[in-house]
Structure 1
């Protein structure tokens, strides 16, 4: 509960016309301009080539195989596992730029003689951090950060230069003492009621509170709200800012080879059912063969 008595302060209507409304209008206009500026700076990601897509899908295929291998018979399981291991060690799924110089073949993952020292892929060349393809993501993140930071810095300097120390509005509800520092920035008055809001604090209230109005004007998924992008800028844009962060599929394939070797295959069907299924399969093949 506030310790100050209710204060009746009459504000000049000029403060409303030349302080309160201009700050709100400028904040709203800057948010709309920021939305369209972000659309202009947004660049569509480059389409993934067929070979690069195959690099990714090979790992997914191997993961699906490990998770559902218990539906395969032991012979089919060994055949598919050996084929995947050979493909990973040979670099069959790698793009042309990442294929190893020498091939490694393994016929049986449980046979140490056939494996030998051929389970390791040759070391990959480190990505060039100055590659233009990598620098493009870095520049895109920096441009978006500038669109977010520069307008907020300019508006805050404008308010401090022309409207510093103004009391511009009173909130229609009481507040506890802890809100005084947040709502009365720039006013060094200890005895003023906490419901009164300074011009600088009104700027922050607009900064964090205009997002519903942006959604009403621009629709959902707009880029007008600067607070959400600034909060995510240190984390979500870090991958775009840091160049050279490429996926080393050779190491991933090597790890996947180890995972395939460690699979404990257990066929879900009963041995008697296996014989019946094999017999049915044989009869069907003979029927269509004749």
Structure 2
């Protein structure tokens, strides 16, 4: 038995569900960014990374610096007590998964996500239930009926047809690609933040990192490659 999608159902059920789910996904991403409380930690991490990169660039390119310029730059990083690489860090800093502040932020985000999902599901169940909106283009077994035909109790109906309530869930979990095109960097940050707790390992000892970079910089043998270059070109 073939079922055709009525134009009224398409205009007043299918399209509104798609628009609402899409806008809700965008709103979730924006709210997630507004509730993010890791700005200060990101700033500190960025400062450390930039400092290490500057030291590494100085070690690689020191040969094109004059003796005075190189000594000044090395003193900026390595001078006792006041050098940038002598900065002290809190050795008791907790990793992400043990930080109460980070955990509170995750709880807030999960609560906001759960509440919005419940409200949308209530709206779909109240105003859009009982409609068949889509069809899966390949055969399925009867085990998929309860997942694809929520709110529609018709045993004679082909399993491949999808009800409005089930289509809402499929849209909600399959909207990331479209949201990525619409939101760009914000969507990338959301995906990165979701993966961050799993990727985080033990807290790094930033003091040891700075100490190692300082010792390596102090061991660099400097010789100005352009010393006497003016006389060389004047003679030739």
TM-score range, shorter chain: 0.5 to 0.7
Aligned to 1:8: 2
**Native 8 Å contact 1:170 1:197 kept in 2:** yes
After TM superposition, the structure 1 = structure 2 runs for residues 92-111 of structure 1, keeping only pairs within 5 Å, are 92-93=83-84, 98=88
Aligned to 2:133: 169
Which segments of 5 or more consecutive residues in structure 2 lack a partner in the other structure? none
Q: Distance in 2 between matches of 1:207 and 1:45?
A: 28
Residue 207 (1) aligns with residue 172 (2): yes
**Native 8 Å contact 1:169 1:198 kept in 2:** yes
After TM superposition, the structure 1 = structure 2 runs for residues 125-164 of structure 1, keeping only pairs within 5 Å, are 125-127=90-92, 138-156=103-121
* RMSD of Structure 2 on Structure 1 (CA): 5.6
Pair 78,143 (structure 1): closer, same or farther in 2 beyond 3 Å:
same
TM-score (norm 1): 0.48
Deviation per residue, 1:218-254 (Å, 9 max, x gap): x64496x8x994x545324x39xx9x96x64421221
- How many residues align? The count is 224
**Native 8 Å contact 2:134 2:163 kept in 1:** no
Which segments of 5 or more consecutive residues in structure 1 lack a partner in the other structure? 1-6, 99-123, 284-290
After TM superposition, the structure 1 = structure 2 runs for residues 214-233 of structure 1, keeping only pairs within 5 Å, are 220-221=183-184, 229=190, 231-233=191-193
Deviation, 1:202, is: 0.7
Larger Rg: 1
Aligned to 2:58: 65
